A and B are shown apart, each in its own frame.
Chain A
Amino acid sequence: MNGLLNVIRRLGAMVVEGVWRIGFAARFFMLLLRHSGQSLMRIHLTVREIYFSGVLSLLIIVVSGLFVGMVLGLQGYETLQRYGSGDALGVLVSLSLTRELGPVVAGLLFASRAGLAVTAEIGLMKTTEQLDAMDMMAVNPIARVVAPRFWGGVISMPLLAALFSAMGVFGGWLIGVVFIGVDDGAFWSQMQAAVDFRFDIMNGVLKSFVFGATVALIAVFEGYDCTPTAEGLSRAITRTVVTSALAILALDFVLTSLMFRGQS
């Protein structure tokens, strides 16, 4: 009886803790937006963060985009060819990349490459009381530290996702046209006939923008909210990766069902 009560009590505490954190995150986000103007005035802070979260993620995005595209090319051709439509390989590769794989995989990579680093940085600043020190010097830590990292992520992510998709299409072309021998003209012309700029590509860009904002918000929040100990920091970093991945996949489902359901 007592054990059962304990379980219920712990469950309740977890729920309350979760709701509390969501509320705090919402207030934190509002605060972040309010101080954004102030921090965007000093644009070099954001530029620096774009370097850390965007430029340093270039290599992993380019290489994985290429490989994902190459795998799509191989597997897609294998399946399409059974139905005698190997020429439609370009359509398959480009649609799956621009609509889904580009934003989602780039988002997951971005969360583990850049989001994690942001959490670690802010968390360590908090643990070593640098944030409090800034507050003492009348420097707002949200405007000075948090907002630039958030906007750096928001700006980097759509560019990275577009790069991922472009590299993927190139990888699919490499395998399909250069190695397997799908007709070059059919590959591109069928792709161009099937991919609509506003419908497919802009929706993909919108997705990557949403994912970028989500990952960046989770990363800065987990860092800002972490328990200021070594253990708390490591838990915050783990939470960033897990929560970002879950948020990206769940949001992707919601966005896809809003954008693409019942059409074509």
Chain B
Amino acid sequence: MRRTTLDLWVGFFVVIGMAALMFLAFKVGNLGAANAGETYVVSGQFDNIGGLKARAPVKSAGVVVGRVSDIRFDTKSYRAVVTLTLDARYQFPRDTIATILTSGLLGEQYVGLEPGGDEAMLKTGDKLQITQSAVVLEKLIGQFMFDKAAEGSAPAN
């Protein structure tokens, strides 16, 4: 069997198609980013997760250290169980505090980690003991208005 010009063109086509796929994977997508390496999985229970979604970033000091891999509802404690997949390069003490925060006023929600002072480090399967729920804007506004109303009515008496 002889090689033909046609084979060259098909080879060129396949190479250029693969290159496009690589471009999408590494330049457009996040395959080149941190999530390709070793990870460990911890979970935490929250009273209210607000608008947190799976695949939301987990940040510490503003740096992305992992992703939210799963969100479930626990029927025993009636709280949300959030599973975090963290990059193995970043180790956190066992008494780390997890908080649900919002980037900007209307931005997406993410999990913020505040390291504690424990000697032992978190490892796969551990549970975060101290958590802080999402701030629900409606509740906050309601409380603010309630306070204002209380303030306004106080001097009148």
Q: Which residues of A contact B (CB under 8 A)?
A: 44, 47-48, 50-51, 54-55, 58, 94, 98, 156, 158-160, 162-163, 165-167, 169, 188, 191-193, 195-197, 199-201, 205, 263-264
Interchain Cβ contacts under 8 Å between A and B, 5 examples:
A162-B20, A167-B20, A169-B24, A195-B30, A263-B54
Please name all residues of chain A whose beta carbon is closer than 8 Å to the beta carbon of B130 when the two chains form the complex. Answer: none
Asked if A188 contacts B27 (CB within 8 A), the reply is yes
Asked if B54 contacts A55 (CB within 8 A), the reply is no
| Given known contacts A197-B31, A201-B24, A55 and B12 CB-to-CB distance under 8 angstroms | yes
The residue from A44, A188, A264 contacting B55, defined by CB atoms under 8 A apart: A264
B23 interface contact, C-beta 8 A: yes
B25 interface contact, C-beta 8 A: yes
Chain B proximity of A185: nearest CB distance (Å): 13
B156 interface contact, C-beta 8 A: no
Q: Which residues of B contact A (CB under 8 A)?
A: 1, 6-7, 9-10, 12-14, 16-21, 23-25, 27-33, 53-55, 57, 64
The residue from A48, A163, A191, A263 contacting B17, defined by CB atoms under 8 A apart: A163
Question: Nearest residue in B to A54 (C-beta to C-beta)?
Answer: B13
Chain B proximity of A106: nearest CB distance (Å): 11
Please name all residues of chain A whose beta carbon is closer than 8 Å to the beta carbon of B64 when the two chains form the complex. Answer: 193
Chain B proximity of A198: nearest CB distance (Å): 9
| Given known contacts A163-B20, A195-B28, A201-B25, A55 and B9 CB-to-CB distance under 8 angstroms | yes
The residue from A44, A167, A201 contacting B1, defined by CB atoms under 8 A apart: A44
CA distance A51 to B4 in the complex (A): 12
CA distance A50 to B13 in the complex (A): 9
Please name all residues of chain B whose beta carbon is closer than 8 Å to the beta carbon of A44 when the two chains form the complex. Answer: 1
Chain B proximity of A94: nearest CB distance (Å): 5
The residue from B7, B30, B53 contacting A193, defined by CB atoms under 8 A apart: B30
Asked if A205 contacts B21 (CB within 8 A), the reply is yes
Asked if A51 contacts B20 (CB within 8 A), the reply is no
Asked if A166 contacts B31 (CB within 8 A), the reply is no
Asked if A159 contacts B17 (CB within 8 A), the reply is yes
Please name all residues of chain B whose beta carbon is closer than 8 Å to the beta carbon of A192 when the two chains form the complex. Answer: 27-30, 32-33
Extra inter-chain contacts (6) besides given A166-B19, A195-B30, A201-B24, CB under 8 Å? A44-B1, A54-B13, A55-B13, A58-B16, A163-B17, A169-B24
Asked if A197 contacts B20 (CB within 8 A), the reply is no
Listed residue (B20, B27, B54) with the most chain A CB atoms within 10 angstroms of its CB: B20
Chain A proximity of B30: nearest CB distance (Å): 5
